[in-house]
Amino acid sequence: MFARLYRPPAASYFLFGPRGTGKSTWLRARYAEALWIDLNDPQDARFYGAAPERLRQTIAANPAKRPIVIDEVQRVPELLTVVHQLMELDKSLVFVLTGSSARKLRRTGVDLLAGRAVLTTMHPFLAAELGDSFDLDQALALGTIPLIVDADDPHDRLRTYAALYVREEVQAEGLIRNVGGFSRFLEAVSFSHAAVLNVSNVARECQVERKVVTGYLAVLQDLLLGFTLPVFTRRARRRMSAHPKFYLVDAGLFRSLRPAGPFDRPGELAGAALEGLVAEHLRAWIAYANTRDTLSYWRTRSGSEVDFVLYGESGFYGIEVKHGATLHPADLAGLRAFSEDYPEATPLLLYRGRRLVVERNVMCLPCDSFLRSLTPRSSFAAAIESA
pLDDT (0 to 100) of residue 71? 94
The gap from C-alpha 39 to its chain's centroid, in whole angstroms, comes to 23
Cα gap 23→35, rounded to integer Å: 16
Buried b or exposed e, range 125-162, using 16+ CB within 10 angstroms: bbbbbbeeebebebbbbbbbbbbbbebeebeebbeebb
β-pair partners for 188 = none
Backbone angles phi, psi at 310, to 5 degrees: -100, 120
pLDDT (0 to 100) of residue 144? 97
Among 193, 206, 172, 203, CA closest to 75: 172
Cα gap 299→279, rounded to integer Å: 16
Among 282, 212, 211, 206, CA closest to 245: 282
User: pLDDT 10s per residue in the chain (387 long)?
Assistant: 789 999 999 999 999 999 899 999 999 999 999 999 999 899 999 999 999 999 999 999 999 999 999 999 988 988 998 998 999 899 899 999 998 877 767 665 456 676 678 889 999 999 999 999 999 999 999 999 999 999 999 999 998 888 777 777 777 666 677 777 888 899 999 999 999 999 999 999 988 899 999 999 998 898 889 999 999 999 988 999 989 999 999 999 999 999 877 777 767 899 999 999 999 999 999 999 999 999 999 999 999 999 999 999 999 999 999 999 999 999 999 999 999 999 999 999 999 999 999 988 899 999 999 999 999 989 999 999 998
pLDDT (0 to 100) of residue 111? 60
Q: Quote the DSSP letter at residue 303.
A: S
Domains observed in the chain: 13-121 (3.40.50.300), 127-386 (no CATH)
Cα gap 309→295, rounded to integer Å: 6
Cα gap 39→49, rounded to integer Å: 9
Backbone angles phi, psi at 364, to 5 degrees: -110, 115
Q: Is 185 exposed, middle or buried (0-12, 13-18, 19+ CB in 10 A)?
A: buried
* pTM recorded for the entire structure: 0.93
Count CB-CB contacts under 10 A for residue 29.
Answer: 12
CB–CB of 247/226 below 8 Å? yes
Cα gap 158→253, rounded to integer Å: 7
